[in-house]
Amino acid sequence: MRVFLSSIMNDPGLLFRQDLKECLEVLQKGGLILYPTDTIWGIGCDATNITAVKNIFELKRRSDTKSLIVLVAEEKDIFKYVDHPDLKIFEHLKTIVKPTTVIYDRAMNLAKNVISADGSIAIRIVKEEFCKQLIQQFGKPIVSTSANISGEESPNNFSEISPQIKSGVDYVVYHNREDSSPRQPSAIVRLNKDGIVQIIRN
């Protein structure tokens, strides 16, 4: 593997495709990946796999009562995992640039431990190319939670991720490791009962 990697490190396109291939194999087996998202680096897994989600909670030492974010590739995917979402939210998303996670009521077809106790789910439609292609090829939503132990600061870039997190996943993506620019978590919003957007995190 080392010889192979050394031969493709100078070919971004080939490395990108190899990362996708490795991630898909891990996700299909219920494993964990460490990958760049449209915001900060995240720990990911199959959002429909209860055991995989449980392993993320254990790696982060995070209470399983706390919710996780799920990524999808297209607006239409929301309808597969949310029962009758309010269409007003899609109009709001068209007006903003910052990556934004939406909390939807009535989650369905996802691992029960990724869904909040009130039946809601936090979902973000990603535009970042690596995430988008990965989710499209996988055919399922992927969990995305910050790459840190619960209670510690979220890493701004790959170099700030702890060795414990890096060694606790089954595959670490090479794509974007060299990007040292500081990144921020997504905004989080929710529609209230009156159809008004409530900002939970800017």
Q: What's 106's DSSP letter?
A: S
pLDDT given for residue 7 in this prediction: 56
φ and ψ of 178, to 5 deg: -80, -5
Rounded alpha-carbon distances, angstroms, from residue 161 to 40, 59, 146, 199? 11, 13, 10, 28
Q: What is the mean pLDDT of residues 143-161?
A: 95
Is the CATH code 3.40.605.10 the one for domain 2-180+187-201? no
pLDDT given for residue 8 in this prediction: 60
- Alpha carbon distance 95, 91 (integer Å): 7
Q: What is the mean pLDDT of residues 154-178?
A: 96
Strand partners, 44: 33
* Three-state DSSP state, 79: helix
Confidence of residue 64 (pLDDT cuts 50, 70, 90): confident
pLDDT at 4 over 90: no
Angle between helices 129-138 and 12-28 (to 10 degrees): 40
pLDDT given for residue 3 in this prediction: 44
pLDDT > 90 fraction of the chain, expressed in percent and rounded: 86
Q: What is the mean pLDDT of residues 163-190?
A: 95
pLDDT given for residue 66 in this prediction: 86
Confidence of residue 5 (pLDDT cuts 50, 70, 90): low
pLDDT tens, position by position, 6-61 = 556 667 789 999 999 999 999 999 999 999 999 999 999 999 999 999 999 999 99
Which tops the pLDDT comparison, 182 or 101?
A: 101
Per the prediction, the chain carries an average pLDDT of: 93
pLDDT given for residue 60 in this prediction: 97
Asked whether the beta carbons of 132 and 108 are under 8 A apart, the reply is no
